[in-house]
Amino acid sequence: MKYSLCILACFIFIFSGCALKQTQPEKTISPDAEMFAKAESFYDSKTFYRALSEFEKYLKKYPHSPNSADASLRIGEIHLILSNTDAAKDAFEKTIKNYPTNPASYEARVKYLQSCYKEGEYEKLVKKSTEFLAGNIPQNTRFQILKIKGESYLALKDYSSAAAAFCDALKEATEQDKADIKANLKKAVSLIDTQNLKTLAYSTKNAALKSYLLFQLGLNYIAEHNFQGAAASFRSFLEEFPDHELAAEATAKLKDVAANDPYSKSTIGCILPLTGKFKIFGAQAQKGIELALASFKAVEGGKQVKFVIKDTGSRDDKAAEAVKELANEGVMAIVGPVGPAEAAVRESQLQGLPIITLTSKDHITSAGDFVFRNFISSQMQAEAAAKFSFENLGARSFSILYPEDEYGKSMTKYFEDNVTKLGGTIYSKASYPPGLTDFTAFIKRIAPKDVNGSDPNSINAKPYDVLFIPDGPKNAGLIIGQLNYHNLGNVQVMGTNLWNSPKLAQGAGPAAENVLFPDGFIAKSSRPNVQDFVARFSGAYGENPGFIEAISYDSAMMLFELISQPDVTSRIELKNRLHGLKNFLGVTGQTSFSENGEAYKELYIIKVQNGEFTEYK
């Protein structure tokens, strides 16, 4: 019985197991997945023509399935294997277009660029890489695109662009890839010529790129036996990138060239127009600088400071050449030029040589952070005139009469902007062509609109508070002399520092009394330091100094003081000190430099009183 029961139990177990097995559903594979797997099997077995046919059939039948992007990518890859490059690129472009956010699309971008590189289509590759980098793409894809873009620039011998691309790739690289990218970056930088290295190093906003450019610039200078330039480059490198991987090597290189001291630390250079049409201003500036040197030595116990002068011939190209010469001679900084300065400041920026220009040219400091301007700009005068009118005269309503030339237009714009900013209004405005002697028609345009011209008492009418005339002393004098005839005799007249000339009174006569204008210097100032300066200057040269002499004196004095400080040992340090200079007390007032290198100073307001120019009090 027990035996029978056991046999029965076994039969039950076997049959029940079969029944359970039969009720379990069989696993199925979708038709599209099966078709894709079939195509993949041909690809894996290297039966590429059959694989290509199967993938094309698959993509035609299933263009939007989960595997469609991979199939599209595979078609491009097979064409590459079969050396059908154009067909491969077409397939990759379709993958990118049809499946833009699929991982296969990112891989297709890289393979498309690799195809271009293989065919030597470097310019096309560079253009396409910029397109492929747009949008939010994975870091590794961005890295691969930037890397091949840099390699293409190398092939095109555009080494500057190659360095920039490799530098961008370095930001995206993994630790494993960084060594390879740095090697490419150094190779690209090493192929850039010295002049372009210098230009890029002081113009690029990319700190990482700048570090390699500066280091290579130092190496180039050593190869050219320009040890002054080499030391300057390595110093700049170490000051800006003290923790860089190349810092130890830069320090060693700097020691190697230390015997060839790049700087005459006690010397400033001066580029002045001693010949040519601006030679009068050059001679005036030279006197101011000479007096600064004598004054500084007397006060500082004979410290060894000096200056070297180069003649610009009143030409900007010669001024730029003078900057190069002074840079090679190792001066710490430059004062000048007076007059044209655009080429000179560009060269000074390239050389990494601080320069304090003496020019009124707008935007001169935009050349770079080594460029400063210690002069009276149009903007500075307009701001001073408007501010003084509001705060000291209580003026709120203004008129402007100006010449239709560059100076007149720019001064008018600056003055109008400052009046508006302060809350004032422009009552009237009129312009006239240069070269006039009779300004009647134009004065009428700014004359009162609500008084009777035939009534002699109407001359006391005051339709606005201030009349601003931004013109030279000759024309301004003629205009001022004619104002009484047009009911404007009671309006306060203001101008610019061009009025600081005897020609103003010659044209205006008694009508010039009480006119006002801003300027940077007045020899009759009551300030003790100005009186001392005027006494020493007149004692040395037998004449009173003017603005050019005074501003040159101040510019030289601030440089002599800075280069005499023991911790100022490089041009970089000097440049930084100038940017941080605040309230330097000179004979042209207190001077500070803004971040963009422009001097800011409180201007004098000069008044004509009893026929003489006096400081307004």
Whole-angstrom distance, CA of residue 213 vs CA of residue 240: 12
Length of the chain: 617
SS3 596: coil
Whole-angstrom distance, CA of residue 612 vs CA of residue 546: 15
Q: Which of 230-234, 400-404, 455-459 has the highest mean pLDDT?
A: 400-404
Q: Which helix (H) or strand (E) holds 615?
A: strand 612-615
Whole-angstrom distance, CA of residue 539 vs CA of residue 130: 68
Taking domain 31-191, whether its CATH number is 1.25.40.10 is answered by: yes
pLDDT in the model for residue 592? 94
- Secondary structure, 3-state, 240-267: HCCCCCCHHHHHHHHHHCCCCCCCEEEE
DSSP classification of residue 364: G
Contact assessment for residue 280 and residue 547, using Cβ atoms and an 8 Å cutoff: no
- 308 class by beta-carbon count within 10 Å (0-12 exposed, 13-18 middle, 19+ buried): middle
Whole-angstrom distance, CA of residue 499 vs CA of residue 131: 58
What would the two tokens of residue 273 be? 């127009």
Nearest to 373 by CA among 334, 409, 343: 334
What is the share, in percent, of the chain residues with pLDDT greater than 90? 70
What is the share, in percent, of the chain residues with pLDDT greater than 70? 92
Q: Is the pLDDT of residue 13 over 60?
A: no
Phi-psi bin for 135: left (phi > 0), alpha (psi -120 to 50), beta? left
Q: Is the pLDDT of residue 226 over 80?
A: no
Nearest to 554 by CA among 589, 526, 522, 594: 589
Q: Of the CATH numbers 3.40.50.2300, 3.40.50.2000, 2.30.30.100, 3.90.980.10, which one belongs to the domain with range 264-373?
A: 3.40.50.2300
Q: Is the pLDDT of residue 459 over 70?
A: no
What would the two tokens of residue 463 be? 């339709």
Q: Is the pLDDT of residue 458 over 60?
A: no
Contact assessment for residue 558 and residue 586, using Cβ atoms and an 8 Å cutoff: yes
Q: Which of 19-28, 174-183, 461-470 has the highest mean pLDDT?
A: 174-183
Q: Tens digits of per-residue pLDDT, 57-74?
A: 999 999 999 999 999 999
Nearest to 227 by CA among 199, 255, 198, 202: 255
Q: Is the pLDDT of residue 4 over 60?
A: no
Topology agreement, domain 192-262 and domain 264-373: no
Q: Tens digits of per-residue pLDDT, 159-215?
A: 999 999 999 999 999 999 999 999 999 999 999 999 899 899 888 989 999 999 999
pLDDT in the model for residue 18? 42
The end-to-end CA distance of the chain, in Å, is: 137
What would the two tokens of residue 323 be? 């900057």
Nearest to 345 by CA among 601, 596, 558: 596
Least confident of 17-31, 455-469, 587-601: 17-31
Q: Tens digits of per-residue pLDDT, 551-565?
A: 999 999 999 999 988
DSSP classification of residue 598: B
Global confidence as pTM: 0.61
Domain made up of 192-262: CATH architecture: Alpha Horseshoe (1.25)
Residues linked to residue 517 through DSSP beta bridges, in sequence order:
606
Whole-angstrom distance, CA of residue 511 vs CA of residue 515: 8
Q: Where are the domains of the chain?
A: 31-191, 192-262, 264-373, 378-519
Nearest to 374 by CA among 360, 358, 363: 358
Contact assessment for residue 96 and residue 66, using Cβ atoms and an 8 Å cutoff: no
| Position with higher pLDDT, 4 vs 277 | 277
Whole-angstrom distance, CA of residue 415 vs CA of residue 425: 11
Q: Is the pLDDT of residue 593 over 60?
A: yes
Q: Is the pLDDT of residue 23 over 80?
A: no
pLDDT-based confidence at residue 5 (cuts at 50, 70, 90): very low
Domain covering 378-519 in this structure, CATH number: 3.40.50.2300
Report which residue type is found at 385. Answer: A
